[in-house]
Amino acid sequence: MLEAESLRVVYGEHAALDDASLSVGSGEIVAVVGRSGSGKSTLLHCLAGMVRPSAGRVTLGGMRVDTATDDELSELRRSRFGFVFQFGELVPELSLLENVSLPLRFAGVSRRDARRRSEAVLAELGIGELASRLPGQVSGGQAQRAAVARALVHSPSVVFADEPTGALDTHSGETVLAALGSLARNRGASVVLVTHDSRVADLADRVVQVIDGRVVSSETAR
């Protein structure tokens, strides 16, 4: 469904990606691992249309992502892409419920329906009783689960997660990983997960290793 072919990204004289290729199947959870500076985050950013490669192509169900216009990328982010970042990136002035509702509101969903759907996802993730609280009034793990809810509430085709457990303790990280995997599978979303965390092997269908800007190995995780 999502495919990158022979990607190259150059910053100055440094090739962050060099002939990197990756395919992600519908409903598949793929963990991308590698040392710091290996190019794994650059690969994720190319797949998500956040970085345009110098060479190569990215396609989503036949649509070119790498050459999409700004309007087309905005539409992808509203309807087909979801994002989970290392620090959640929740809006601090909004409640968890309001944060989760944002993708739906941007997509034109009514306030009532957005609230109903957001409450259901928060409940599914075990934090429904915290819906009215601000991000600063909950734990890091709870806030990150709200970020997972926001990424999946609009039923995207692909969720991109960049170090989603990097700022969490072991227990909170395991809870967030389990929540991400469970909710994604329930909703049929593919997940591309960039991480240093070896625990993702328990979550992913496949683990991909990136070294010096190249995808050098791919193996079934379970």
Report pLDDT digits (tens) over 107-151: 899 999 999 999 999 998 889 999 999 999 999 999 999 999 999
CB atoms < 10 A from the CB of 19, how many?
14
Query: What single-letter DSSP state applies at residue 130?
Result: G
CA angle 41/159/34 to nearest 5° reads 25
Q: How many domains does the chain have?
A: 1
| 212 CB-near residues (< 8 Å, 6+ apart) | 18, 38, 39
Q: Give the CATH number, domain containing residue 187.
A: 3.40.50.300
Q: Provide the whole-model pTM.
A: 0.91
Residue 8 in this model has a pLDDT that exceeds 90: yes
Confidence band for 178, pLDDT divided at 50, 70 and 90: confident
Contact 172, 146 (CB under 8 A): no
Give me the domain span that covers residue 7.
Answer: 2-220
Confidence band for 221, pLDDT divided at 50, 70 and 90: low
Residue 210's nearest CA partner among 67, 53, 87, 40 is 40
The CA distance from 75 to 134, in Å, is 28
Residue 222 in this model has a pLDDT that exceeds 80: no
